[in-house]
Amino acid sequence: MEQNQDQLVKALQAAQMYYYQDLPMKKIAVELGVSHSTVSRLLAWARSNGLVEIRIHDLRSRSSPLEELIKLHFRLREVRVVPVSELAGEEMWQERVARAAAAYLNQLMEPNMILGVAWGNTVNQIAAHLTPKALLDAHVVQLNGGGSIPTLGNYSSGDIITQFANN
């Protein structure tokens, strides 16, 4: 427990120096009495544990042509197209889509919301990429149905729901 508290304190200090004060990692390392690579790991830990949130404000006046076509065709309010090389392969496509969906979901979720979650490989990967976010009175519910080991792999729909709820 004490080690986790120490890591939390150092990660917060490193993040504040890096993001608020614009100090280079080498200077932070000297101030914290750790190595440059430890500072890098602390910053990564801070981000993955929800201490640091990075947002990209897309200042484009409109969506890309492909996003607009999809929006019109399916009558959607918002569409995100995730750029992935055609050569990347299905595993990389799924990984990138899951990361983008998790980041978008983290932006959308607010207190008092109810999130309905289905099941499947992509939904499982989205759950794995969520950043912890404390939300007052938010609920995660399972949508109708659920898969089994042959259809889902080595996890259950209940495991996916639990992972969403914990993040």
Q: For 60-80, write each residue's pLDDT tens digit.
A: 656 788 888 999 999 999 888
Separation CA 144–CA 159 (nearest Å): 15
CATH number of the domain enclosing 13: 1.10.10
Residue 40 lies in a domain: yes
Q: For the chain, give the percent of residues with pLDDT over 90.
A: 32
The count of domains in the chain is: 2
In terms of residue numbers, what domain contains 38? 2-48
148/104: higher pLDDT: 104
Claim to verify: residue 100 and residue 39 sit in the same structural domain:
no
Note the residue count of the chain.
167
Give me the pLDDT at residue 157, please: 72
Give me the pLDDT at residue 1, please: 47
Taking the alpha carbons at both ends of the chain, their separation in whole angstroms is 20
Residue 83 lies in a domain: no
Which residue matches tokens 């993001």?
19
The model's pTM: 0.59
Separation CA 94–CA 122 (nearest Å): 6
Claim to verify: residue 105 and residue 43 sit in the same structural domain:
no
Claim to verify: residue 112 and residue 42 sit in the same structural domain:
no
Helices (H), 17-138: 25-32, 36-48, 65-74, 90-108, 121-129
